Amino acid sequence: MTFPGNVYLLAAVSACFTVLASLPLWRRWCLRTGLVDDPGYRKIHDRPIPLAGGLAVMTGLLVPTLLAGLALWWQRTGGNGGGSAVLTGPISRDIGRFIHLDPNSAFLLQYGLGRRAIELTGIFLGAFGMLWVGWLDDKHELKPRAKFAGQLLIAALVAATGARITLFVPSILFSYVITILWILTVINAFNFMDNMNGLCAGLGAIGACHFAILAAGDGQYLVALIAFLTFGALLGFLPYNFPQARAFLGDAGSHLIGYLLAVLAILPHFYSARHLRRWAVLIPLLVLAIPLADMVWVVLLRWRLGQPFYQGDTNHLSHRLVRRGLTRAQAVLVIWLAAEALGILAYLL
């Protein structure tokens, strides 16, 4: 059964407009509460910038999800709060016509949500948890060990709810270890990439878009919906962050983006009846190749120089492109283009 493409479009558009509408409110709240990034060493802004991106992106994910849940409940009950009719009331029929969700697709979505309820609950709780860890770091500058402990706990929670990597190894312990390691790696890779306006959010949007298209093309509609929501939310944030920044992601935002992309790489079944080659599991590595490669490079360089791997510097790919003569905006655009090319290459798998 083909899931309606306009529902995917609605997910992306609603998330985008929710972020666009909520960001001014979150900016004012951040300025009022002092949740800002002050000017300083290795920073290019000359005034405090609100760290509102993560809060706005989370709002862009949450509001459309709650509204969709309400619409599904109304559609299932016929608008009268009870029963099991599908599209039986006039208001319910209007909702159905608005989103063009036929009864079979509505049943498919309700069935999928019911079947993966525990896993999806764990994923959303993990998103809130990762946002909270990042917010604490933005507000109080957590020590690296405390921040890592929070990341580890949340990654373990997600793995425990069923979102796990197997790599064809029949071992629960291996599955837990590799899943937690993957989530921690991607989170910190995106955290490292949050070093120029638009870079982290743009890479997150590109990655989410590719995961969305891949999942939708393979009929994995729940994964595709989460990916389209993520894509739309990040798209709504970018006008506030690139090329000139009126809001930053902060650690809350970079943690949330890294977490979402890590989970979106885990959820799809890349090796399936339609993907009979085992190397199709390499698709996430291609989609996320830029942030992963950048993190590996700077960690190895810092290790060789005897520096802590978590200590910031100007040796990232973006900084090296600027030293080659590009402007910061040009460097970001070049990296976006490279990420897009690698994502397209993933389709060949």
Over residues 219-269, the pLDDT tens digits come to 888 899 999 999 999 999 999 999 999 999 999 999 999 999 999 999 876
Of residues 118 and 349, which shows the higher confidence score? 118
Q: What is the mean pLDDT of the chain?
A: 86
**Are the C-beta atoms of residues 309 and 299 closer than 8 Å to each other?**
yes
* Relative orientation angle of helices 199-217 and 5-33, to the nearest 10 degrees: 160
The answer on pLDDT for 28 being more than 80 is yes
At 292 the pLDDT is: 96
Find tokens 């939708």 and name the residue: 216
CB neighbours of 70 closer than 8 A, spacing ≥ 6? Answer: none
pTM greater than 0.85: yes
**Considering just the CA atoms, what is the radius of gyration of the chain in Å?**
21
Most confident region among 166-170, 278-282, 320-324 by mean pLDDT: 320-324
Q: Is 313 helix (H, G, I), strand (E, B) or coil?
A: coil
**Are the C-beta atoms of residues 213 and 219 closer than 8 Å to each other?**
no
The answer on pLDDT for 102 being more than 70 is no
Which residues are registered as beta bridge partners of 272?
A: 275
CB neighbours of 230 closer than 8 A, spacing ≥ 6? Answer: 15, 61, 204, 205, 208, 212, 260, 261, 264
The answer on pLDDT for 326 being more than 90 is yes
What is the pLDDT averaged over residues 263-291? 76
Of the listed ranges 124-128, 243-247, 303-307, the least confidently predicted one is 303-307
90 upstream amide cis, omega within 30 of 0:
no
At 91 the pLDDT is: 45
**Are the C-beta atoms of residues 127 and 260 closer than 8 Å to each other?**
yes
Of residues 203 and 94, which shows the higher confidence score? 203
Of residues 117 and 152, which shows the higher confidence score? 152
Q: How far is CA 224 from CA 52, 132, 174, 219, in A?
A: 26, 25, 27, 8
From the list 113, 153, 108, 160, the residue with the least C-alpha distance to 130 is 153
At 169 the pLDDT is: 82
pLDDT in tens, 171-188: 899 999 999 999 999 999
Beta strands in 18-120 (DSSP E): 36-37, 49-50
What is the pLDDT averaged over residues 265-286? 69
pLDDT in tens, 56-93: 999 999 999 998 888 777 766 665 544 444 444 444 45
At 311 the pLDDT is: 80
What is the pLDDT averaged over residues 316-324? 95
